[in-house]
Homo-oligomer: A and B are copies of this chain.
Amino acid sequence: MAKIPHRLYLTEEQMPSKWYNLRADMKEQPDPMLNPGTFKPTAEEDLYPVFCKKLAHQEMDAETKYVDIPEEIQDFYKMYRPSPLIRAYNLEKALGTPAKIYYKFEGNNTSGSHKLNSAVAQAYYAKEQGLTSLTTETGAGQWGTALAEACSYYNIPLTVYMVKCSYEQKPFRKSIIQTFDATIIPSPSETTNAGRKILAENPGTGGSLGCAISEAVEKAVTTEGCRYVLGSVLNQVLLHQSVIGLETKTAMEILGEYPDIIIGCAGGGSNLGGLIAPFMQDKLLGKADPRIIAVEPASCPSLTRGKYAYDFCDTGKVTPMARMYTLGSSFIPSANHAGGLRYHGMSPILSKLYHDGYMEAVAVEQTKVFEAACLFAKQETILPAPESSHAIRTAIDEALKCKETGESKTILFGLTGTGYFDMMAYNAYLEGKMTDYIPTDEDLEMGFSQLPKIPGIQE
């Protein structure tokens, strides 16, 4: 067999024309979302005030295994996809590992991450339904940029609530989102009841994804023709992001490879869920048994230290409740934590799979993450996003274990994006000013104590 190329790009013909819905192959389904007033399972129609209809349907549909990607979305994908599957030859050499390291690089688009994969889908369906505006939240700013790009393309006015500490750490994220014509508001803000309430309780807060979600949802449901869109956590997002895993699996098949270990960073689960989808399918169907590792920040350890419980998806407690690994919707990671992956919960699909033993999770400290990021940048000539660098850290750790054991494992990780807008965090690391934060058990108990009480289900 010929030498494996550094980068493999599929042709347009090899790109997927359907998304893959992981739920259709799960033996046990995630528990249903519950209405926070009635504690009854949420029906598709209950979601219509918040999401456009097609997306509400995708959110609830656990049956359809393959969902056609509308041709317009496929065309948009072709503007920046396929993303390359890259063999990290230089990183392998620098580590002196017998492991083969591959990464799927989703950062080669202006949003700088995989988020565009779902943003374009959500903007497209909103346009199709004739909606006149959208709202969303953004943490590190990648989702906000991605959705601004997609909305600009489809001419839909967009308001982005950006987690305040990210807004302040990343001044240029604001500019790029504005380049794509979106309005951007630091959250919590005075523009919503939810924001005003949070500010009254904690005026100095740097915000959280949970607060920003509350504000964006409130704005959407109180504005005519407006809906809310979310870049992670949701089932529909994992569906759209399956394009990452489907491309990866096809590319690996072309190379005659199959991963022994699959690693992805995990905040709300959008990248991880997308990357692993077809490999998890193999696992669910008993066709293969790769190790699947979710990597989360030690400062926001929802899988490794959270509870598998019903919780609100937002701080303001306006969304349906989902059963997931959570730190409690009031949990806000320390402001010293750089970048995204600061969500209190985790995709219900991934939570269920983790709970059922289909995947592992590790938590890593950010100084170790940036150490890995800098090594990776120098060897592979890509400056990674802090979020993605969590996966790099663990991929390096696994490759070093192979060095010890002499095993030549095939490691695949998701490189979700680039770090061009994270230079303040890189600065802090390079200047030795970055610190680590690990919440104490007491910090976590505080979050857990506020989990909702649901008669007969969660007392």
Show the binding face of A for B, using Cβ within 8 Å: 5-7, 9, 11-12, 75-76, 78-80, 86, 89-90, 108-112, 116, 149, 152-153, 171-172, 175-176, 178-181, 374, 377-383, 418, 420-421, 423-424, 426-427, 430
Task: Closest B residue to A430 by CB, please name it.
Answer: B178
Most buried by B among A171, A176, A383, A424: A383
Q: A105 CB to closest chain B CB, in angstroms?
A: 9
29 contacts between A and B (CB under 8 A): A5-B78, A6-B12, A6-B78, A7-B78, A9-B9, A75-B89, A79-B89, A79-B380, A79-B381, A110-B381, A110-B383, A110-B418, A149-B381, A152-B378, A153-B378, A153-B379, A171-B423, A172-B172, A172-B420, A172-B423, A172-B424, A175-B426, A175-B427, A176-B383, A179-B374, A179-B426, A181-B378, A420-B420, A420-B421
* Alpha-carbon distance A430/B423, docked complex (angstroms): 23
**In the complex, what residues of B have CB within 8 A of residue A111's CB?**
381
Q: How far is the CA of A383 from the CA of B180 in the complex (A)?
A: 10
Say yes or no: A175-B11 contact (C-beta < 8 A), given A6-B78, A152-B378, A153-B378: no
The 7 lowest CB-CB distance pairs between A and B, nearest first, are A172-B423, A420-B420, A6-B78, A175-B423, A110-B383, A9-B9, A5-B12
Assess the A430–B6 pair: CB atoms within 8 A.
no
B78 in contact with A175 (CB, 8 Å): no
Which residue of B has the minimal Cβ distance to A173? B423
Q: Which residues of B contact A108 (CB under 8 A)?
A: 108
Question: Closest chain B residue to A90 by CB distance?
Answer: B79
In the complex the two chains form, is B382's CB within 8 Å of A110's CB? Answer: yes
A458–chain B nearest beta-carbon distance, Å: 43
Known A-B contacts A12-B5, A420-B420, A420-B421; the reply to A180 vs B79 at CB < 8 A is no
User: A111 vs B172: C-alpha distance in the bound complex, in angstroms?
Assistant: 18
CA distance A343 to B310 in the complex (A): 62
Chain B, Cβ-Cβ closest to A10: B9
Contact partner, A176, options B89, B116, B426, Cβ 8 Å = B426
Beta-carbon contact of A176 and B423 below 8 Å: yes
Contacts of A112 in B (CB 8 A): 420
Q: Who on chain B is nearest to A150 by CB?
A: B381
The listed residue (B12, B90, B179, B418) touching A377 by CB distance below 8 A is B179
- Considering the chains assembled together, what is the distance between the CA atoms of A423 and B12 in angstroms? 32
A377, B423: Cβ atoms under 8 Å?
Answer: no
Residues in B with CB closer than 8 Å to A175 are 423-424, 426-427, 430
Instruction: Report whether B6 and A79 are in contact in the complex, using a CB–CB cutoff of 8 Å.
Output: yes
| Cα-based distance from A116 to B383 in the complex (angstroms) | 14
List B contacts of A78 (CB < 8 A).
5-7
A112 to B419, CA, bound (A): 12
CB of A275 to closest CB in B, whole Å: 20
Residues of B within 8 A of A9 (CB): 9
- Which residues from chain B contact A374 at a C-beta distance below 8 Å? 179
Residues on B with C-beta less than 8 A from A6 are: 12, 75, 78-79
Residues of B within 8 A of A172 (CB): 172, 420, 423-424
Q: Provide the residues of chain B in CB contact with A383, threshold 8 Å.
A: 110, 176, 179
Distance (Å) between the CB of A235 and the closest chain B CB?
A: 26
The docked-state distance in angstroms from the alpha carbon of A111 to that of B108 is 13
- Within 8 Å CB of A426, what residues of B? 175-176, 179
User: Given A5-B12, A426-B176, are A381 and B90 neighbors across the interface (CB < 8 Å)?
Assistant: no
| 9 further contact pairs, Cβ within 8 A, besides A79-B86, A176-B420 | A6-B12, A6-B79, A75-B89, A79-B89, A110-B382, A149-B381, A153-B378, A153-B381, A172-B423
Residues of B within 8 A of A421 (CB): 420
The docked-state distance in angstroms from the alpha carbon of A239 to that of B182 is 43
Complexed CA–CA distance, A175 and B430 (Å):
9
Docked Cα-Cα span, A109 to B423, in Å, equals 16
Give chain B nearest CB distance to A12 CB in angstroms.
Answer: 5
B residues within 8 A CB of A423? 171-172, 175-176
Contacts of A430 in B (CB 8 A): 175, 178-179
Complex CA gap A413/B72 in Å reads 26
Bound-state CA distance A217–B116 (Å) is 44
- Chain B residues closer than 8 Å to A178, beta-carbon distance: 427, 430
Minimum CB–CB distance for A106 against chain B, Å: 12
Taken together as a complex, chains A and B put the C-alpha atoms of A427 and B175 apart, in Å, by 6
